[in-house]
Structure formats: C-alpha cells, structure tokens
Amino acid sequence: MWRLIFIFGITLYQAQTSALGQTLSKTEQEVMQAEVERESATQRGDVKTVEKLTAEEFFLVDATGKAVGRAERIGRPPRKRLRDSYDDVKIRIYGDTAVLTSRRSWIWEDTNEAKSARIIKVWVKRRDQWRIVAAQNTDVTP
C-alpha cells in the first residue's frame, strides 16, 4: 500500500510541475490533489472518501463505452493497479468547473497486464470541495 501512495505522491508532484514545464496554479493543484486522493481512496477501498469526492449526479463512460452511474461505480470492487502514472496532464479552470485531461498508464496487479488510457474528467467546486461529476476513459496502446 505504501508503494501505491508513494507512486501517487510522485505522480502528483510530476503533474504539478509538468504543464508546459510550469508549475500548476493553486486551483489546478487543488483539482489534481482531489483526483489523486479519489483514485488512491478507490484503490484502498475507502468508500467514504470516494463518496465525498464524487457528486451525486456523477457518470462515467468507461473504456467499453458503457455508461456507469455513481452507485454502480462506487460499488465496483477495486482492481489493484501497479505503477500507476499520469502524463500529458492538462487542467483547464472555468470558474468553479475544471476539466482534467491526461494519459494514464498502469499495470493490473492480478494479471500483470499493461494498460494505458486517455482520460477526461470534469470536476466542480461545491461548498469549498472539488467533486468529480463526469469522466470518460478511452483505451490506447501502451
């Protein structure tokens, strides 16, 4: 577990310093921190934290094209990832809305299969807390 947290911490640092070689703004850092916190909580099976960071109206279009609502997504058993990393991270802020795009790469722990996806996530800030409202994953060749 500490290895996973360490990897997420390194990823957060890399993401904060990778946007065109510049440091992310305070708001962009908040969004990336919420993203990393939510993904880490998902991997740990920390449903309370995932629920806190996921809006009621959340929906995901997964890599198979299936539309998944909040309850179904949170209810899925976590599948452990190894060497999980983000690159080509871009965060665009529109007031209390943020759009995060990136390429994410990982290895499934159970099968040792390498995967990579382009992701887009929409976050909104409500009552001083960033919450994810929508996401889409598209598999790409690792």
What ranges do the domains of the chain cover? 2-140
Q: What is the pLDDT of residue 14?
A: 53
E strands, 37-128, in order: 54-61, 67-69, 81-94, 97-108, 114-126
> Is 92:105 a contact under the CB 8 Å cutoff?
no
Q: What is the pLDDT of residue 21?
A: 54
Statement: residue 130 has pLDDT above 90: yes
Class of domain 2-140: alpha beta
pTM of the model: 0.82
Q: What is the pLDDT of residue 20?
A: 43
Backbone conformation region of residue 126, classed left if phi is above 0, alpha if psi is from -120 to 50, else beta: beta
Model pLDDT for residues 14-44, shown as the tens digit of each residue: 554 444 455 889 999 999 999 999 999 988 8
Model pLDDT for residues 84-96, shown as the tens digit of each residue: 888 999 999 999 9
Which residues are CB-contacts of 21 (< 8 A; sequence separation ≥ 6)?
A: none
Indicate the SS3 state at residue 141.
Answer: coil
Amino acid identity, position 138 = T
